[in-house]
A and B are shown apart, each in its own frame.
Chain A
Amino acid sequence: MLQNPAQPAVSLKRKRHRKLSDDTPWAIAMLLPNIVGFLMFMVVPIFATLYFSFTEYDLILAPKFVGLENYIELFHDKIIGITLRNTFVFTLITVPIGMAFSLLLAVFLDQKLAMRRFYRAAYFLPSVTSMVAVAIVWQWLYNPEFGLINYFLSLVGIKGPNWLSSSSTSLLSLAIVSIWKGAGYNMMLFLAGLQGISTSYYEASELDGANKWKQFIHITLPMLSPTTFFIFVMSIISSFQVFDTVMLMTSGGPGRSSSVLVHYLYQSAFQFFSMGYACAIAYLLFFIVLTITVLNMRFEKHIKEIF
């Protein structure tokens, strides 16, 4: 680009413009590997799933456009009802209990204690362990005759149930494993939230004669609410996506007693080969997750307006 000394203002403007756009070739070159993968394996599939959800496709014959048929079937399919109900129940058990448990651990751990690192590591250990390993160990713990859990129950005079192989306890058993596995992770998030609360609040309330419990109710809980809310939303979303636990420990059984939405999605796609229908289930899941996220954003805004 030629520079004309007679028009300094324009040339300066041009120069800045050139400097800005100079980066483009480099940006393209350096972004290329990332963006190719991103488009191919993330962006395009999102729309492809939507497209396939309007088709009938069994992997053999070409996809056939069927309009809204899959979505209409979703409403009439009894199994969808059952799996949705199981997913809700699973969420209802795991989210509140899991959060209460991890909050409790975090509150106790948020002090200058000996062995802090040990505790933290112990609680976090299940989170880094593979679900397959966890499933194997817990299946053995749940063994009705020789398992450790029923042995402990027998010590206090309770005859333990058949856990995984009874349709009345299978979902509960999976929820317990899920709580155990996720507690450390949420505890860590709570711990970060707790450390963000300034100690001056506690010091001031101590002068006013507040005890630990009052401090917890009137300082810790309100100050922690953004963290709590975040964990709440993330826990709901992830419990709606539960699959590994179910597939590995009960395969949704006995009957359909522990089958959840993603398990049915997996079966529809890779066992019954109804790809189109599975895609419709995937969009149902997407819709639910999106709704939770949007409600969360609305609610958060609402809360901010109140305070």
Chain B
Amino acid sequence: MTRRTKRIITHSIAHLFLIIGAVTMLLPFIWMITTSLKTISEVFVMPPKFFGARLVWENYLKISSRFNYFGYFMNSIKVSVWVVFFQLWTSAMAGFVFARLHFRFRDKLFLLYLATMMVPMQVIIIPNFLQMRIYGLVNTLWSLMIPPMVSAFGTFLLRQFFLTVPRDLDEAAKIDGCTPFGTFFKILLPMAGSTLATLGIFCFMYIWNDYFTPLIYISNAKRYTLPLGLAAMKGMYSTDWPVLMAATCISVLPVLIAFFLAQDAFVKGVMLSGMKE
């Protein structure tokens, strides 16, 4: 066997396996989309068919007539945008401080940040709930927006990035009379674009998909975020699969778009989260 044919064979085997894998991973998504375009009666048939007699786009219009879907969507947008913005801002600033400024207890303090990253979030959720209750913020979006404004992981990530930037740049800025904040804002922050994008995407994905936190804080349907609203919808309309699937499709869309636009940032984020240890 020549080298070439050997390579063709191994590649074919690889492709075969990878295609089987891809079908396994994608089939639930495909099924979700096609189910969202059927009528109810077409859903409950055996053997199942991929497509109904026609594509029932009306299912997508029915979503909002039954549920305050738009409201949930806007709540999710509001919470995610707020959290991403502030988490990036506080992480970048603290990351800069830990990477560049000198003060007593700096390294000990940073060690504390690292240590808390190992603590499961379930350990801190109860006191946080009690806290929010004292402040009267339970059942408001603030309970979802305030605690994640700071992230130990984000701080760590940005610090690691700033450590890789050569010091010559900010030394030069310092000589030119730049304050530490000026150095941070004018010189280092603009260089952190890709790290900020990675953290931002991960943070957005986490907040957008988060079910546990809103489940605990929010019981008023007006303040539901998308995951909570969808879960409620699932409980109430578990037989109307097409409309439920349509709602699910739309809820997945923003993260999917973000993923396809910034696949490489996602990949980088996974690698960086691997650094967490």
The residues of A with any CB-CB pair to B shorter than 8 Å are 20-21, 23-24, 26-31, 33-38, 40-46, 48-49, 52, 59, 104-105, 108-109, 111, 113-115, 117-126, 128-141, 145-146, 148, 151, 180, 183-185, 188-189, 192, 212, 230, 233-234, 237, 241, 243-244, 247-248, 262, 265-266, 269-270, 275, 278-279, 282-283, 285-286, 289-290, 293
Contacts and interface: CB of A to CB of B under 8 A. Distances in A.
Nearest to B277: A230
Contact of A130 (B18, B180, B252, B258): B252
**Residue picked from A120, A136, A183, most chain B C-beta under 10 Å:** A136
Given A31-B93, A123-B22, A285 B231 contact: no
Given A46-B116, A132-B231, A146 B209 contact: no
A283 B244 CA distance: 38
Contacts of A37: 90, 146-147, 149-150
Nearest to B202: A128
B187 interface: no
B31 A262 contact: no
B270 A121 contact: no
A153 B156 CA distance: 48
Contacts of B22: 118-119, 122-123
B118 interface: yes
Where chain B touches its partner, the secondary structure class is helix
Contacts of B215: 247, 266
Nearest to B104: A24
Given A125-B26, A128-B256, A241 B122 contact: yes
Interface in B154-176: 155
B56 interface: no
B190 interface: no
A159 to B, nearest CB: 13
A122 B116 contact: no
Contact of B21 (A44, A123, A243, A269): A123
